[in-house]
Amino acid sequence: MATSDKAALESRVLSGPAPVSASARVIDFKETEVKEYAGYFAMVINDILTPEECAELILLVQPAENAPWPSATMTAYNGSQILDPSSRHCGRIIYNSKVVADRLLNRILPHLPPEVAMLDSAPDITSQMPVIRKEKWKISRLNEALKFLKYEPGNYFRPHCDAHYEDKETGEKSFLTAHFYFNGGNGGEDSVEGGVTRFAVDFADPNAGKVDVNPKAGSVLIFQQRDMYHEGAGVDKGIKYTMRADAMYKQVREL
């Protein structure tokens, strides 16, 4: 796609209203097999994107002439990026766009519980120290570094917690991950088998409790980053396209 065509696509994608069929559901972990996460925050919003918008977002980042996607890296303890296919095996393209990030936030913001949009005494999400310091944090934006992911058959992301991102210039911090699914479900040429996002405590035990969120086109899974262990289970059939964004928060200063 020519640069001018990509700019035109970016300017119009997500410019319309959210689908009227959009519906939100908070996951109550105490009612699931993973009761250890009771009180932790995760939710699913279905139909937050139209099928056309999903296709346009994939097209926006698709390499020219359908070239292979670069392999996704891992963040090492020293902050460097390394390839570790034993832990993570999929493609990733980081697409920087404030326009797309802002429009995605406008889609999800009306569905976020007020106590999550504004974090005030929420130690499970922020850790204990902000509570002790009586800090309040309000969601401000989605990080414009949008991480598009391509999972082909056999690809996976082993159990992990998403890292917090801190903007040193603005003081903003990420507390949530917003994970958008662009295809999935049963039937159709873009269907996906496998590839669930799985929350668990003991991933090695097949009999241990788990909560699976199946990829569904146009949906988004939003969850806290702190202590929320999850994996992208292996894709059995089809190609799964998703995108991860960090939800950034800014501290509210009392006058």
**pLDDT at residue 189 is higher than 80:** no
**68: helix, strand or coil:** coil
* Domains parsed from the chain with CATH numbers: 3-16+23-68+85-251 (2.60.120.620)
**pLDDT at residue 255 is higher than 80:** no
| Distance (Å, whole) CA 173 – CA 141 | 10
**Ramachandran region, residue 134 (left: φ > 0; alpha: ψ -120 to 50; beta: rest):** left
Letter for the amino acid at 161? C
Read off the pLDDT of each residue in 4-26 and give the average, rounded to a whole number: 93
**pLDDT at residue 75 is higher than 90:** no
pLDDT of residue 145: 98
CB within 8 Å of 17: residues ≥ 6 apart:
none
Give the pLDDT confidence of 95-150 residue by residue, as tens digits: 999 999 999 999 999 999 999 999 999 999 999 999 999 999 999 999 999 999 99
**pLDDT at residue 178 is higher than 70:** yes
**pLDDT at residue 206 is higher than 60:** yes
List beta partners, residue 94.
147
Mean pLDDT (the chain, rounded): 95
Residue pair 222/230 in contact by the 8 Å Cβ criterion: no
Indicate the length of the chain as a whole number. Answer: 255
| Distance (Å, whole) CA 236 – CA 156 | 10
Q: How confident is the model at residue 78 (pLDDT cuts 50, 70, 90)?
A: confident
Question: What pTM does this model have?
Answer: 0.95
